[in-house]
Amino acid sequence: MILLFLTGSALALLKPNPKSMVILAVQYISTSWLAFTSLPAAGVAAKLITGFLVCVILYLGIRQIGNDPLPMDDEVLSANLSFRVIALLLVTVASVSVAGSNLFAQFEISMEANVGASFLIASSLLNLGLGTDPLRSGIGLLTLISGGELIYSFIEPSLALIALLAMVHLGIVLAINYIISIRIRHGNPEIFNP
Amino acid sequence: MSAGLIIFLFTAIYSLLCFVLRHQRIASALVAAIGAGSIAVFVLFVPFDDVFLIGSVSIKLTSEWIILGRLFSMSDTVRPLIGFLYLAGAFLLPAAWVVNANRYFTPVGLLILGTVAASLMVDPFVFAAVFIELAAMGAVFILVTRQHPRSTGASRMLTLYTFAMFSILFTGSLLEIAGITSATPVLAIRVTFLLGFGFAILMTVPPFHLWLPKSADESDPYILVFILVILQSAGFFFLIRFLDSYIWLREQTAIFDGIRIAGIITTILAVGFSASQRDLKKLMAYALLVDLGVMLIAIGSGEEAGFRIALSLSGVRVIALGVLALGLSFLSNEDLLINNTRGMGYKMPLASVAFLVGLLSIAGTPLTAGFPGRWSLLTVVLHGDKLAAGTVIFSMIGLGVLVIRWAAILFERGDGEEPIAMSHLPRGFLLGGIILLLLLAIFPQFIFPWVEDVASGLTNLFL
């Protein structure tokens, strides 16, 4: 759970770049670890493999941009580091209180998974809200799905659902890679001016 | 062999063929149309679970297919819905080469149809949300293209559909596992909220429509209409199946009131936004929302006749929107460097007329395909609901006035409006579309058998 907090915070605070994929991979490992209490070993292994595939595909797609921001990066929203830190603190408090509110009391979800998933969803909302950069949005979406999937694995621990959600992870990463590659190859900077 | 497997297999084969033929636009569009049409015929007319003879060979196709422990069922409930989607594909995909759409439109379009078909077949049907999310992902690949590299609208759509997916998955689980009844009011409120949130996104109800005008601005209008028709239909079919499956939902008048109010707000807002547009593409996006609003008002009536009218409206809108988008694609063709719409009616008369007739049909003007549905809604369902009836009339008059305004702009006389040459086939497509819309106004009963097919499958909703 601590790893989830660290990786979620790092992904929200740092500017996304190819090295962020290592953090994303650690986040996938910690999510899979938390899912161990609800899923069979095969399911956890499938989640891990999907996570690694996602990170590798995203890394291969974005390594060409390096540390250069894509047009319409989050500077447009003036989301500097201090703003992000304050926003992260707020969403962390909100997520912990949501996790403690027994929102999913009908289902037997462990406290660690509940808090971890709530934080992942909250940090993903922060990522999605902080910029229009497709890479940041993509990481936000992947984090959102990881959080939702963690809770849902307690509700419906079936292999079919793991396979379907793995397809969603891979579909998102392919779509994001595609958007980034189209922007790099055919994006005219003039048309991205807000 | 199972019917589901055959559908997926042939969708994949046709999609692969379209991909291989992507540089030969006519061949690719033809394969897509024939492929989607043949699958529609297969779904609608071939008997399942019965032995039938082809020559001397006896064949039995099963309606059920199990994969990874999940059932994909071609039940009587979903057959007309899947048939409708493939027919819509067969109607919309062939014009891809006429409007010079991105060459991946046909293969990806077919895959989107297959994914949405899977969303209708999967059991338990709450898993449909995941398939609709996958279809939305496929949509990104044709909304963002080399010719249209901006992606804000597509990214917003992807984000919103992800929220919708989890919202509906959790709702389904709460309904299945927690057992919602009128004796559990707190849970009931939670479920209603989650369900409303999910379906509002799937059906692009404001404020979750924000990706739509942005995509209209950024993407090919014809591709956008295809995506919207398919995804909104998937959301609509999902909603009526939800209502059909859970008695608790059907008994909640508040839910139908909510849908009706959402429909009224959507219609009024969309008419207002349409009136303020100076861009034809954005006008199309908001006109689409007006149509959706009227459909929601029909569902929100909570009456069987209202559901039937909503179904017939969803059938007619495929043709109206297709014709509208076809005309618009020519009017906004960047290759022809057309930036000024004034006097465009003289340069491209047929495309302008197709756009205006399509818009008139969306408005529900008499003598167009959209009118019989709206007239039935006003006379049969909404006679006791003045607010909803007034909103429908407001939408008809509002959009009608807009058509007159845009006709005046498009056919404004200026200097040097030389007609732009158009070959026979695009003219045939435009003229065929216009005639079809007018014919459907005279013979609206053409759509009735399909509505009855759907109704006979949803036995709880249509008693």
Per-residue pLDDT of B390-406, as tens digits, reads 999 999 999 999 999 99
End-to-end CA distance of chain B, in Å? 33
- CB neighbours of residue B24 within 10 Å: 13
Which residues fall within 8 angstroms of residue B368, CB to CB, at 6 or more apart? B320, B357, B360, B361, B437, B438, B441
Residue B298 banded pLDDT, cuts 50, 70, 90: very high
- Which tokens belong to B254? 């508040």
Q: What is the mean pLDDT of residues A18-39?
A: 85
Q: Read off the pTM.
A: 0.90
B384 at A interface, C-beta within 8 A? no
Looking at residue B420, the DSSP 8-state letter turns out to be: P
Q: Would the pLDDT of A95 be above 90? A: no
B332 is written with which tokens?
Answer: 């906004």
- B340-376 burial, b at 16+ Cβ within 10 Å, e below that, comes to ebebbbbbbbbbbbbbbbbbbbbbbbeebbbbbbbbb
- A164-183 residues touching B, CB cutoff 8 A: 164-165, 167-168, 171-172, 174-175, 178-179, 182-183
Terminal-to-terminal C-alpha distance of chain A = 39
pLDDT digits (tens, 9 = 90+) for A139-155: 899 999 999 888 888 88
Across the range B326-348, mean pLDDT stands at 73
Residue A192 reports pLDDT greater than 50: no
Do B36 and B90 meet the contact criterion of CB atoms below 8 Å apart?
Answer: yes
* Chain A partners within 8 Å of B170 (Cβ): 152, 155
Q: Tell me if residue B66 falls in helix, strand or coil.
A: strand
Q: Which is higher by pLDDT, B350 or A106?
A: B350
In chain A, which residues have their Cβ closer than 8 Å to the Cβ of B145? 182
pLDDT of residue A74: 44
Give the residue from B151, B167, B227 with the most A CB atoms within 10 Å of its CB, the best one to mutate: B151
A141–chain B Cβ distance below 8 A for any pair: yes
Q: Which of A157-161, A172-176, B104-108, B394-398 has the lowest mean pLDDT?
A: A157-161
Three-state helix/strand/coil letters over B351-399: HHHHHHHHHHHHHCCCCCCCHHHHHHHHHHHHHHCHHHHHHHHHHHHHH
Distance CA B382, CA B375 (A): 10
Query: Which residue blocks in B21-121 are alpha helix, DSSP H?
Result: 25-45, 79-92, 105-121
Tokens 């001016």 — which residue? A193
Residue B31 has pLDDT above 50, yes or no: yes
Can you give the pLDDT at residue B398?
Answer: 93
Nearest to A106, CA basis, from B154, B179, B148:
B179
In this prediction the ipTM stands at 0.87
* Alpha-carbon Rg for chain A in angstroms: 17
Instruction: Look at A168 and B165 and tell me if their CB atoms are within 8 Å.
Output: yes
- In the predicted model, is pLDDT for residue B187 greater than 60? yes
3-class DSSP assignment, residue B101: coil
CB B437 within 8 A of CB B330: no
Picking from B356, B330, B336, B337, the residue whose alpha carbon sits closest to that of residue B410 is: B356
Residues 301-330 of B with CB under 8 A from A: none
At A191 the pLDDT is: 44
Question: Residue B180's pLDDT band (boundaries 50, 70, 90)?
Answer: low
pLDDT at A170 exceeding the cut of 90: yes
Closest alpha carbon within chain B to A148: B166
3-class secondary structure, A90:
helix
Q: Give pLDDT, residue B123.
A: 81
Q: Which tens digits make up the pLDDT trace of A30-75? A: 888 888 887 888 888 888 999 999 999 988 888 777 666 555 544 4
Q: Is B327 left (phi over 0), alpha (psi -120 to 50) or beta?
A: alpha
* Portion of chain B with pLDDT greater than 70, in percent: 96
**DSSP H or E stretch at residue B59:** strand B57-60
Find the range with the poorest average confidence among A86-100, B215-229, B287-301. A86-100
* Better-predicted residue by pLDDT, A132 or B149: B149
Confirm or reject contact between B186 and chain A (CB < 8 A).
no
**What is the per-residue pLDDT for B334?**
53
How far is the C-alpha of A28 from the C-alpha of A7, rounded, in Å?
Answer: 9
**Rounded to 10 degrees, what is the CA torsion of B74, B76, B77, B82?**
50
Query: pLDDT band for position A88 (50/70/90)?
Result: confident
Structure tokens at B398: 């509002």
> What pLDDT does A66 receive?
64
B178 to A106: CB separation less than 8 angstroms, yes or no = yes
Q: What are the percentages of helix, strand and coil residues in chain B, rounded to 5?
A: 75, 5, 20
* Cα atoms in the 13 Å half-sphere on the side-chain side of B221: 28
Q: What is the mean pLDDT of chain B?
A: 86
Structure tokens given for B349: 């008369």
- pLDDT at position A53 is 92
Interface test with A, best of B127, B132, B147, B155 (most A CBs within 10 A): B155
Torsion of Cα atoms, A25 then A26 then A27 then A31, to 10°: 100
Q: How far apart are CA A103 and CA B229, in angstroms?
A: 35
Max mean pLDDT range (A8-22, B256-270, B410-424): B256-270
Q: Which residue has the higher pLDDT, B278 or B298?
A: B298
Mean pLDDT, to the nearest integer, of B292-311? Answer: 89
DSSP A26-61: HHHHHHHHHHTTTS-HHHHHHHHHHHHHHHHHHHHH
Lowest-confidence pick of A51-55, A132-136, B293-297, B327-331? A132-136
| Coil, helix or strand at residue B65 | strand
Higher pLDDT, A88 or A188: A88
| Closest by Cα among B203, B179, B420 to B294 | B203
Cβ contacts of residue A9 below 8 Å, gap of 6+?
A88, A92, A123
Residue A189 reports pLDDT greater than 80 = no
Rounded Cα gap, residues B265 and A14, in angstroms? 40
**Residue B37: its pLDDT value, please?**
94
C-alpha–C-alpha distance, residues A153 and B382, integer Å: 45
